[in-house]
Every structure is written in C-alpha cells, then in structure tokens.
Chains A and B, each alone.
Chain A
Amino acid sequence: MNAAPRPRTAALAFAVGLVLADSSIVVLALPEIYRELDTSVAGVTWVLVSFNLVMALAAVPAAHLARRVGPGRAAAVGLAVFAGAGIACGIAAELSTLIAARCAQALGGALAVTAVLELLPATAGSERRAVAVWATAGATGAALGPAVGGLLTQLVSWQSIFLVQAPLAIAAGVPLLAIARHEAATGIVSAELRRTGRPHLLANLALTLVSSAIAAALFLLVLLLIEGWRLSPIGAAIVVTAMPLAALLGARLGPGAGSARARAAAGAILVSGGLGGLALLPHADVALTLPPQLLVGIGLALVLSALTETALLGRAPQAIHGGWTISARHAGVAVGLILLTPLFTEEIDQQRHDAIDAATAVVLDSKVSPLLKLELSQRIQDRLEGERGKVPTIGPAFEPLPEDPADRVAVVGLREELQDQLDRAATHAFSSSFGLAALLGLLALIPIGLARRVDL
C-alpha cells in the first residue's frame, strides 16, 4: 500500500484539483450554455451555484461517510460518481438536467475531496505536507479552471468540458483501488474514529467571505470579457490566465513571508484592491484588467493557503476539518453568486436602457439626414430591445449601409461612436458588482483580525 507514494500523492492531488476546478471550469462556457439552452443570465448562473451549494452542504457529511466506509473506497466511489455525473452534464439537453447532473457531480466530488485529505498524510509523509499539497491542488484547480474551460469551449464545445473530466477522474481513481481493496480485506476503515474537534470558526468564516469575492472576480470578469466586450471564449481564457499565473507567484510567498494571519490579511486586501480596480476600469480595454488580476491572483494564493492551513493544522480528523474548509469555500462561492447575480442583471438592464438613450442622442445630433436618423434610431432600438438580459451588439443595426456616400461615411463614424457608448454601458454594468465583491473581501479582514486573540 505504501509502494510508490510519490505517484500516488500526485494522483490524489490531481483528483483534488480536478474536482475543485469544477467550481469554476464552467465559467467561460456559461455564455455558450446561455445561448444553446436558451435560458436567462440568472438561470445559467445556477450551473455554477448548484455545484457550489451542494459541495458546501455535502462536504462535512461526506467527510463523515468517508471515515465510516474507508477513505480509499469513499474516494474511489466519489470519483466514479463525479465521472458519471460529468457524462450526464455533457449530454444534458436542458438546463434542469444539467443542473441536476451538476448536483450529482458535487456530491461525488465532495466525497472524493474530503476522503483524499484522509489518505494524503500517508503518501505525502506528514500532516503539514499533506495539508499543503491538498490546499495547493485545490487552489490551482480552481484558478486554472476557467482557462481550461474556455479553451475546451472554443476548440470543441461546452459539453466537452464535462466529457473530458470522466476519463480523467477514472484515471485518478485507479491508484485508489488498491487502497479500497486493502480496506475491504482488512476491515480497516479509518486510522482513528475518535471524537471530532470543533471547526476553526473564524478561519472558515474568513474563507467563506474571501471565496465569495474571488468567485465574483472570476465569474464577473469572464462575463464582462465575453458578453460585454465580445471576446471569444479562447480570448477570454487567455486574458483570465493572468489570475492563476499571479496565483503561482503568490504561492511562492510561503510561510516565510509572515505569519498565517499576516498572509491572510495581506491576501484579503489584495483581492479587494484588485476587485476595486475592476470596479473602476477607466476604459474598455483588456490590458486594464491585468493589474487587478495580478492583485487578485497573488491575494487568493496568500489568503486561501493561509486560512486553509490554519483551519486544518493540528486538528483531527483531517477529512472532517477539510470538509469544513470545502464547505466554507463553496458556500462563499454560492453566496457570492446568489448575491451578485440579481445586482448585475439589474445593472445590465439599466445600462442597456441608458445605452439606447445615449446611442439615440448620438444619432440625433449627428450629421445624417433627418429621415435616416429616425430610421436608425428605430433600428437601434429593435436591435437593443431584442437582446434583453445582456449588453447588446450594435453592428447589425447599421446594416445595410445607406447608398448615399455622405450618409455612408457619417453612418460608419456613428457606428464607432455608438460602440463607445455600448462599451461604456457594458463596463459600467459590472462596476457595482465588482465593488460589492471588493467589500466582501474586505469583510474577511474582520474574522482574520478577531482571530488574533484566538489562534490564527
């Protein structure tokens, strides 16, 4: 059972990364799902919310189950359920089926991730190292998720995101079969079935708050890039890769950079600062999203690892306390999405209305003929009204271009001016939501600060 611990540690870490990537991997596919399944922005958000909500609710019970039936068996079964549900997600033709399959995926994922934490100390060599591997694998998976999802969505389809996971989950589960067989043969189901200590409330509360802010950063930024600024999924994937790259940089700032409390506080400040920058974008330009992403990426690496280590180290059983951190993180993601979705969908509607008025004003004050002005105003209105629930595109409203050369030149100039108004509307529609997310990140400083008097 102890043979080849390094590949087994890698396989376990891969399983954790694969499952936790699922909380964010679908972010870049949401616009495609939105169009293909003919739903609303609020509806498609539940593809993300359902997974995170079920993970939050199931993580601790799953950890108890893993300790009862044996972590090897639990992890293997969890990964099998995760793979099967992934296939169901990939062939879902309706939003309700997709959401149901996502819930099943989360149940399997919760069982696998918490059970793996129980198995890791034996293969990683120590509890501290096991916690570090587990936390890093989870953070890496969550940070890489959107970029991988974006690539698959554009190169293949949104369905491929889920279908690809099935063989990967099965491959990660193969090394677990030996452990599961050993558990079945010996009847050993867990190292110790002693009483569970209380979870670290402050660290888990801080994890919830900061996770809601990070989820908002990923989710809102992707929607802004694809729906607002009309980037392709692959283009958006390249842009949001800045965040995991920055997270890798932040991960290098290990315990040597300061105490867990200092790293957690600095991380929360950076996440909030980055979100504050996204709330105040001065122009619709992807380059301007890079400095905020840098701050959020470094911040998330610092704060997630510091808080996870604090919540786990010295606490037993690991699976149960790991379950609490998983629960806290995913509850944060779900709460963040539930809080922010109505806010930004309402903002998009308001901004669409303002953009229609601003666009009409530009047309009326332009130098095209009066009759063409009225015709264009009407075409713009039809175009913009037809795209409820998102920031619209304006180009088709100008087709066909007028035959009169003077009008044609004026209309082309107009189109650019109107596009600027729409870019302003698209960018501004997300400002309040990024601002609220920054506030959630700052709120995490309260439990982090209070923990000074406890044991953070």
Chain B
Amino acid sequence: MSPDARGRFLIGAALAASLALVLVYLAAGGSSYAPEKVKDPCQPRAWRNPESLQEIAEQFSLSALDGAACRLGVSRETLARALATPESRERFARRYGIDDAELARAIRAGLLRAVDDAERAGALNPLLAAPLREVVRRIPLEQAVELVKDARSLLNSAQNFLGPAQGLLEQVLP
C-alpha cells in the first residue's frame, strides 16, 4: 500500500469509528438523557382512579396546586415547595413579587379547579360540588394553604354532611 493510500485508509477508519460511536450513542438515547421536563400546570392532568378518601384528597391537592400554579405563572413543583413552610412561602413571595391577596386568589382558583376536576373524575358527588365551591370562594389564605396540603378534612366534612341527605336529594333532583 502506498503512503497516500495508507493515509486515506487511516482517515477513513477514523471517520468510520467516530461516526459509528456518535450514531450508536444517539440511537441509545444520548440526545434525550436529561432530567424530565415538568408539565404545564395549565394543561389538564388525568386523575388516577382514586378510591379511598386519602387518594381523593391527594388528587384534589395536586389539582389545586396545578390550578394555583397556572394562575401565578409558575410550575406546580415551584409552588409546592413554596407552600411547604411559612419561610419558603415568604421567599417565594419575595422572589416572584406576589402579595398575600394575590396568593390567596390563586390558591382559591386552584381549589375551584380541584373541585371541577374531582367532579369530572366522578370522585366528588355533584350535589357537593356547588356548596364546596362556595366554601372555597370565601376561605381565608391560611386555611386555603392547609387545604392544598391536606384536603381530607374538607372532603370528609362534606361527605358527612351529605351522608343523611344524599338519598333524599337523589330522589328529588333530576
């Protein structure tokens, strides 16, 4: 083999090895190996067929977080971290320039979306949805935050309230 031919072979082999490596790594998912992107909180999120009260409360909280985050223009995850403690809420408010009134409006909007989602998913009796919406519209900020963290108390009281009256209402309403 002449020196020129050896040189061409060497360059060809280098090109082939380099391309093969890059293509194999691309095919194995090298271009998408990154942290998963968080979902847009304004988009609907499917409920996971909750059965127990706790599972319904969890889904309710997640929907409420989505709704409030959508209203504030932040991710559900950012808002969840913000609501964890009073200090983190203060840091969040400072960073995004959000006052208590705005936060309260956003959380109430989130809770209303959660009521809608729960009703659509069949996890909340339609007879309860209207009074719950009224409760949510009037709820103070601190209680609204607690409801996002754990909606069991709200859902539990609603179920208890409806329990005796449900049979009667179902008979008279279409």
Q: Cα distance A221–B3 when bound, in Å?
A: 35
Within the complex, which residue of A256, A272, A276, A357 is in contact with B6, where a contact is CB–CB below 8 Å? A256
**Cβ B76 vs Cβ A364 within 8 A:** yes
A307 within 8 Å of B by Cβ? no
Q: Cα distance A253–B14 when bound, in Å?
A: 13
Looking at A93-101, A108-116, A227-235, A373-381, the stretch in contact with chain B turns out to be A373-381
**Cβ B33 vs Cβ A281 within 8 A:** yes
A69 within 8 Å of B by Cβ? no
Within the complex, which residue of A267, A361, A371 is in contact with B150, where a contact is CB–CB below 8 Å? A371
B173 within 8 Å of A by Cβ? no
Residues of B within 8 A of A351 (CB): 34-35
**Cβ A370 vs Cβ B57 within 8 A:** yes
Within the complex, which residue of A262, A265, A374 is in contact with B83, where a contact is CB–CB below 8 Å? A374
A445 closest partner in B (C-beta): B11
**Cβ A295 vs Cβ B25 within 8 A:** no
Looking at A121-129, A187-195, A423-431, the stretch in contact with chain B turns out to be A423-431
**Cβ A421 vs Cβ B35 within 8 A:** yes
**Cβ B21 vs Cβ A262 within 8 A:** no
A359 to chain B, nearest CB (A): 8
**Cβ B14 vs Cβ A267 within 8 A:** yes
Give the total of B residues in contact with A, Cβ under 8 Å.
47
A161 to chain B, nearest CB (A): 32
B169 within 8 Å of A by Cβ? no
B90 to chain A, nearest CB (A): 13
Q: A274-B18, A276-B18, A295-B21 are in contact. Are A262 and B6 (CB under 8 A)?
A: yes
Residues of A within 8 A of B6 (CB): 256-258, 262
Residues of A within 8 A of B3 (CB): 258-259
B146 to chain A, nearest CB (A): 10
Instruction: Select the residue from B4, B10, B39, B78 with max chain A CB neighbours within 10 A.
Output: B10
**Cβ A270 vs Cβ B83 within 8 A:** no
A72 within 8 Å of B by Cβ? no
Query: Quick one: which of B107-129 are within 8 Å of A by CB?
Result: none
**Cβ B75 vs Cβ A357 within 8 A:** yes
B165 within 8 Å of A by Cβ? no
Lowest 9 CB-CB distances: which A-B pairs, in order?
A273-B18, A262-B7, A280-B30, A258-B7, A378-B84, A360-B77, A282-B28, A266-B14, A358-B35
Interface residues of A (CB under 8 A from B): 253, 256-259, 261-263, 265-267, 269-270, 272-274, 276-277, 279-284, 288, 291-292, 295, 299, 351, 354-358, 360-361, 364-365, 369-371, 373-375, 377-378, 381, 421-422, 424-425, 427-428
Interface residues of B (CB under 8 A from A): 3-4, 6-11, 13-15, 17-19, 21-22, 25-26, 28-31, 33-39, 54, 57-58, 61-62, 65, 75-78, 80-81, 83-85, 88, 149-150
Pull 22 A–B residue pairs with CB atoms less than 8 Å apart, ordered by A: A257-B10, A262-B8, A262-B11, A269-B14, A279-B30, A280-B22, A280-B26, A356-B77, A357-B78, A358-B36, A360-B78, A364-B65, A364-B80, A365-B62, A370-B57, A370-B150, A373-B80, A377-B80, A378-B84, A422-B35, A424-B34, A427-B33
